[in-house]
A and B are shown apart, each in its own frame.
Chain A
Amino acid sequence: MKKVLSTPIKDEDIAAIRVGDVVYLDGYLVTCRDVGHRRLIELGRELPVDLAGLAIFHAGPIVAKDGDGWKMISIGPTTSMRMERFEEEFIERTGVKLIVGKGGMGPRTAAACRKHKALHAVFPGGCAVLAATEVEEIERVEWQDLGMPEALWVSRVKAFGPLIISIDTEGNNLFETNKAVFNAKKGPIIDRICQQVRFIK
């Protein structure tokens, strides 16, 4: 059975979810990436969307005008690590409960997820049409002055996923664990290859 989270997400909804679990989302998902984070944290501007209990998506979509509204054409995750500098404070200030993106995030985000009970999850990168078909409606858009990729697109989603949990509310960090494994493996492999590429004699 699919594990589905619904917004507003409460602490108890996500307490038992662990890294490597696969979940889906019903409810509100708001895009927020580089400049959105910078405006709140560094420039001190108030976010035009109340994110308490909601989910954000590190993503810059392709949208098309659809009558008076907008239609989601293609929306996939962007590299979450770019937001690492801001995310700890972002979680604290907004009360966001689920951060969806691509690749891992660092120790400061993991600490904030533990302290404020939030999750980071990966939507498979490059799967942007799949994600767009899981968006029911774009309800509104804020900060359109930032252009299509950076604006805050407020979407209502249904069974949005797969979302692979990469940081849980205990602060476990799947990518940090994986990276340690990759780094441990790579040394001996490099040594072996180096023996075979001594072309300068």
Chain B
Amino acid sequence: MDKHEAKRSLTDIMARFTSYAGKRLPTDVLGRLAALRQGEESKLSRVVFDSMFENLAAADNLDRPCCQDTGVIQYFVKAGAGFPLLGELREVLTEAVRRATREAPLRHNAVETFVEKNTGDNTGLRVPWIDWEIVPGDAVEIEVYMAGGGCSLPGAAKVLMPSAGYEGVVQFVFDVVTSYGVNACPPLLVGVGVSTSVETAARLSKLALFRPIGSRNPDPRAAEMEKLLEDGLNEVGIGPQGLSGNCSVMGVHIENSARHPSTIGVGVSTGCWAHRRGSIRIAPDCASYEILSHKEAVL
């Protein structure tokens, strides 16, 4: 396959996968939602969970985006240094977004700032948003993420003084989730970044949302804190759609880095129950691929 054909093939795969990720939830998310549904007893919780599952079935049958807010499309790329189309990837992903917007169809969600005009095709200045990590190897792993406005609104980051300690992190997570989180379509997936400054903590909090639900941070203390936050937030009982119930979150994931001795940066990102994340690994031939997030997915 020459470069031109490889580019076309990669665009085609990414356009179809982007559409797919907007219509069907990942396997781990579906599993956790089913488990949380079992734990609910109140009338309103049951009404909401019934609607959620009815909706997912309808979206699958009718092949439509399961939530109307298909977000500003974001790609988190782990690019092998030897991937042949590394330099073309931005152009490829931008074209994939245009195609997915027409074909899925996705909502028009890119509003140029200051001009304040909707571009109508989900592309714009620095959009789709692409986050890069260069890794050894010659394949590429791409995480596509669609976060609606509702679950983007609670996002917050702050730099604490070391005297605040990890206790300050706990307080911050609870404050965000029990205020703005109530309107962000709970049960939420909560990503927490523990780092040095606002942008490093914020980025890590987002990456935390892409870890499979049920996985734990490799550090035993961080893993313990994930569990404490998860159980504690569920005890608050925000419930599906904030209508109160036995759950608040699908999980809490912490991603961390070493920090400056004088600061503790903390970031919180939330994913709604319709956590539309998809990960795909594409081989250097740009034609063969493996979908990691959705079991038995067919594009």
Q: How big is the A interface, by class? A: 35 or more
Q: Is the interface of B mostly helix, strand, loop or mixed?
A: helix
Indicate whether A3 reaches chain B with its CB closer than 8 angstroms: no
A103 touches B242 (CB 8 A): yes
Which residue of the partner chain B has the closest CB to A62? B107
Given the interface pairs A124-B48, A198-B165, the reply to whether A75 lies near B244 with Cβ below 8 Å is no
B242 touches A104 (CB 8 A): yes
B109 touches A199 (CB 8 A): no
A125 touches B182 (CB 8 A): no
B232 touches A60 (CB 8 A): no
A147 touches B108 (CB 8 A): yes
Which residue of the partner chain B has the closest CB to A61? B68
A126 touches B165 (CB 8 A): no
- Residue among A122, A164, A189 with the highest chain B CB neighbour number at 10 A: A189
Indicate whether B39 reaches chain A with its CB closer than 8 angstroms: no
Indicate whether A130 reaches chain B with its CB closer than 8 angstroms: yes
When distances are taken between beta carbons in the complex, the residues of chain A under 8 Å from B183 are 79-81, 102-104
Indicate whether B274 reaches chain A with its CB closer than 8 angstroms: yes
Given the interface pairs A125-B241, A126-B67, A128-B66, the reply to whether A193 lies near B170 with Cβ below 8 Å is yes
A149 touches B107 (CB 8 A): yes
When distances are taken between beta carbons in the complex, the residues of chain A under 8 Å from B66 are 74, 126, 128-129
B68 touches A128 (CB 8 A): yes
- The residues of B with any CB-CB pair to A shorter than 8 Å are 44, 47-48, 51-52, 54-55, 58-59, 62, 64-70, 105-109, 111, 117-118, 120, 148-150, 153, 162, 165-167, 169-171, 174, 178, 182-185, 221, 224-225, 228-229, 232, 235-238, 240-244, 272-274
25 contacts between A and B (CB under 8 A): A60-B68, A62-B105, A62-B107, A74-B59, A74-B68, A103-B241, A103-B242, A124-B51, A125-B241, A125-B272, A126-B273, A127-B67, A128-B55, A128-B59, A128-B65, A130-B55, A133-B62, A149-B108, A149-B118, A178-B243, A186-B178, A190-B170, A190-B232, A193-B229, A197-B221
- The residues of A with any CB-CB pair to B shorter than 8 Å are 20, 22, 59-62, 64, 73-76, 78-81, 102-104, 122, 124-130, 132-133, 146-150, 162, 164, 174-175, 178-179, 181-183, 185-186, 189-190, 192-194, 196-200
